[in-house]
Amino acid sequence: MESEETVEGQIKNHIRGLMNRLEGWVYGQKKLLDDLDKYGEYAASQDRFALLLSAQAMLFYIERTVKDFESWLSNPLITSVMTTDMLKELEEKLRQIAVSFIKVDVDHTGEYMELLKKMDVDNAVPELLRLYFEQKGNAQGAPQQQQAERREIPRFL
């Protein structure tokens, strides 16, 4: 009987500790939401480089949250307590987020593709690509291994 009370006490202490950690997590995430909302107003007035860095930072925040959420959902001590209704609601919300995020990717990539098509029609050459290929040099007379190395193009280019 005594060991059961000890186990019960350990479980209650674990749950209380978990609730405290979760409270801290929720507080931190709400603060991040508030900070990102405030930052949005500032970011709208920034230059191209700052916007690029900001977009990369947004992906970092998404990635961090996804990794933590994935860890959360992989823990049977956590998920065993969740009700089927909670899981249905969660799955639906995450699916909507996934669809929305993929739409952002498709829209952005499509817009970029249209920009490349316009540049092609206008015979416009992005300066960075010009520099890249000028630095790469002419591989015509190089041995086959060097030609293969020089043909290596950065991802997506």
Mean pLDDT of all residues in 13-34? 95
- Give percent above pLDDT 90 in the chain: 71
Whether 134 shows a pLDDT value over 90: the answer reads: no
Reported pTM: 0.73
The alpha helices in 44-143, defined as continuous H runs, are 48-73, 76-79, 84-121, 127-136
CA distance 44 to 40: 6
Higher-pLDDT residue of 119 and 41 is 119
Which residues, at least 6 apart from 146, have a Cβ–Cβ distance to it below 8 Å?
A: 139
Model confidence at 84, pLDDT cuts 50, 70, 90, reads very high
User: Does the pLDDT at position 57 exceed 80?
Assistant: yes
Residue bearing the bigger pLDDT, 19 or 132: 19
In this model, does residue 146 exceed pLDDT 70? no
Q: Which residues contact 151 (CB under 8 A, 6 or more apart)?
A: 139
pLDDT given at position 41: 85
Is residue 73 within 8 Å of 79, Cβ to Cβ? yes
Please give the mean pLDDT across all residues of the chain.
88
**Could you tell me the pLDDT band of residue 139, with boundaries at 50, 70 and 90?**
very low
At 140, the pLDDT band (50, 70, 90 cuts) reads very low
